[in-house]
Amino acid sequence: MKEIKTIEFKEDILYLIDQRKLPLSYEIFECRTYRDVDFAITDMVVRGAPAIGATAAYGVVLAAREFLKEDKEKFLANMKEAMELLNRSRPTAVNLMWAIKKMKDLIEENKDLPVNEIYKKIKEEADTILKEDIETNKKMAKYGNQIVGKKATILTHCNTGALATAGFGTALGVVREAFYSGKDILVYADETRPRLQGGRLTAWELVQEGIPSKLIADSVAATLIRDGKIDLILVGADRIALNGDTANKIGTFMLSVLAKEYIVPFYIVAPTTTIDFDIETGKEIEIEERGSEEVTHIENIRIAPEGIDVYNPAFDVTPNENITGIITEKGIVKPPFKENILKLK
């Protein structure tokens, strides 16, 4: 197993693998201020809901470090402003809001302490979020491995590996665990237009691990599913509603429809921090729409004509009726989803 340190904080600097540059180059992006963190999340230097949550937590640490010399009132006001900025960096991934809320609550609980003591608690909390995310991923992987056959062909979408988390991965973490346990698996990785996270990131991770795999254009998946070539579909999530409706990278819903039509097990792999207990259905999930250049350009090279309008939603919502189960660190949730999701709270 090769360790991939997506996120590392040392000597007051947050180090992130710059996922915009993979696989052509392996570069580290340094965040020295919370504004750097805001940019890193917005511009997708770091992406994947769990990774975004941990990164945002360290953004709060950097903000607190910046305002350490302020008096208490100014410190608290500046921290509120910094957290509001970070909270807006991406709208769909609930782990971001979860991490920021944890920090807000922590600051509120300890607001009577000296500023330097509040800073220490913020730093400890961020370290805990990072550590627990890796532990959570490994627990999910073990539960998920239970549903992987000894000789299984698995389809993935987007990137759900170590790069999307603090380490190890969600859906790709299950793939890793199956491979490490000696199962004879083959992975088909959707390229995942428009940003090609499957082609650039998942493929890179699979090659790093030596896991048997093939990269496919997104549109190939339908043929493979129809022809009985896929035993299992594993995807991640950016937000899960109480009824099990799941927002994930654009193209996930399409796969779920095919899986249902051709009776292929379709599993979401996500930590319980990705569940939004405050929303009933996927209709309440805000879907981020990103810039047109993600569709009209590849690596800054224009592939579409000037003047064409673009619709570029980053995510879609898969209805719960298309989902076989949700693999979490607390076990595999099956229908009825609302009843069983509430047991996780």
Q: Catalytic annotation on 238?
A: yes
Q: Measured between alpha carbons, how far is residue 229 from residues 154, 212, 222, 331 in Å?
A: 9, 15, 10, 27
Q: Does residue 39 register a pLDDT over 70? A: yes
Question: Is 193 annotated as a binding-site member?
Answer: no
The model's pLDDT over 43-70, given as tens digits with 9 standing for 90+, comes to 999 999 999 999 999 999 999 999 999 9
248 is in an annotated binding site: yes
Q: Which two tokens stand for residue 18?
A: 């710059």
Instruction: Assess contact for 218 and 193: CB atoms under 8 A.
Output: yes
Compute and round to an integer the Cα radius of gyration of the chain: 20
- The CA dihedral of 153, 156, 162, 164, to the nearest 10 degrees, is -170
CATH superfamily membership of 7-137: translation initiation factor eif-2b, domain 1 (1.20.120.420)
What are the boundaries of each domain within the chain?
A: 7-137, 139-342
- Per-residue pLDDT of 6-38, as tens digits, reads 999 999 999 999 999 999 999 999 999 999 999
Return the H-helix or E-strand segment holding 102: helix 94-109
What is the model's pTM? 0.93
Phi-psi group of 159: left, alpha or beta (phi > 0 → left; psi -120 to 50 → alpha; rest → beta): beta
pLDDT of residue 344: 95
Domains 7-137 and 139-342 share a fold: no
Report whether 49 belongs to an annotated binding site: yes
Phi-psi region at 24: left, alpha or beta (left = phi > 0; alpha = psi -120 to 50)? alpha
Question: What is the pLDDT confidence band of residue 345, given thresholds at 50, 70 and 90?
Answer: confident
146 is in an annotated binding site: no
* Token pair for 336: 């009825």
Residue with tokens 């913020």: 122
Looking at residue 92, its pLDDT comes to 84
130's tokens: 């990072």
What does the pLDDT look like over 72-116, one tens digit per residue?
A: 999 999 999 999 999 999 988 789 999 999 999 999 999 999 999
Catalytic position from the list 18, 190, 218, 238: 238
156-196 confidence digits (pLDDT tens): 999 999 999 998 999 999 999 999 999 999 999 999 999 99
Confidence band, pLDDT 50/70/90 cuts, at residue 1? low
pLDDT confidence of 3, banded at 50, 70, 90? confident
| Mean pLDDT, residues 123-152 taken together | 97
Nearest to 203 by CA among 138, 159, 164: 159
DSSP 199: I
Q: Which percentage of the chain shows pLDDT scores above 90?
A: 97
Q: Which CATH architecture has domain 139-342?
A: 3-Layer(aba) Sandwich (3.40)
Q: Which pLDDT tens digit goes with each residue over 187-228?
A: 999 999 999 999 999 999 999 999 999 999 999 999 999 999
90 is in an annotated binding site: yes
pLDDT, tens digit (0-9, with 9 covering 90-100), for 267-290: 999 999 999 999 999 999 999 999
pLDDT for the residue 93: 79
Query: Is 197 annotated as belonging to a binding site?
Result: yes
Confidence band (pLDDT; 50, 70, 90) for 236? very high
